[in-house]
Amino acid sequence: MDVRVDEAGKARCAWVGEDVEYRRYHDEEWGRPLHGDRALFEKLSLEGFQAGLSWITILRKRSRFREVFERFDPDTVSNFGSDDIERLMTDAGIIRNRAKIIATIGNAQLVSQMVPGELDDFLWSFAPERPQPRPQSFADVPATTPESAAMSKALRKRGFRFVGPTTMYALMQSAGMVDDHVAGCWRAD
């Protein structure tokens, strides 16, 4: 089944399950257009941390990520050094993956060199130009698209890390560049 109906009769994408925070995220964030360099840098970073894990793991740790990464201010994070890396490696409130932490700092350095609005414009330039057909089932939702592959390639060319095509498609979904709410979900209407 591709939708799940809750106790109040609201149909949602089935991946949401019963978790209250996941429901809120699905209803209020996932698939809604997100703009702003800081917001998109946060999304890019969290999607990178999610690679190989479930999104609910990241979602449950998001508030701590925001604390320790200074609300994902690229200018601040770009100045993190070895002491910060070691501090983050001991923080059980986040994903303690050295490569992902170092990548986030490096990505922040790249973002901080951009002019305001450049990250937003750059990422959104890969959004499909016309609305895609509504997925009828999860089987219709791709893991990657030509657009996510192009975004990944362009980001890597600029020096970004943990930005593979699958991760970038997840970013496109969560930032509303594509709308993959399946048919029957209340958000698909």
Tell me the binding residues for Zn(2+): 13, 26, 181, 185
- Asked if 21 is an active-site residue, the reply is no
What are 101's two structure tokens? 């932490």
Q: How far apart are CA 114 and CA 111, in angstroms?
A: 5
Q: Which amino acid is at 1?
A: M
Q: Using CB atoms within 10 Å of the CB of residue 189, give its burial: 0 to 12 exposed, 13 to 18 middle, 19+ buried.
A: exposed
Q: How far apart are CA 108 and CA 45, in angstroms?
A: 9
Helices 20-28 & 55-68 angle (0-180, nearest 10): 80
Residue positions forming the annotated binding site: 13, 26, 181, 185
- Asked if 124 is an active-site residue, the reply is no
From 15, 29, 55, 124, the catalytic residue: 55
Residues with Cβ within 8 Å of residue 158, at least 6 apart in sequence: 110
- Asked if 47 is an active-site residue, the reply is yes
Kindly state the helix (H) or strand (E) to which residue 13 belongs, with its residue range.
strand 11-13
From 22, 30, 42, 47, the catalytic residue: 47
**DSSP H stretches of helix in 51-164:** 55-68, 74-77, 82-89, 98-112, 118-124, 146-158
Active site residues: 25, 47, 55
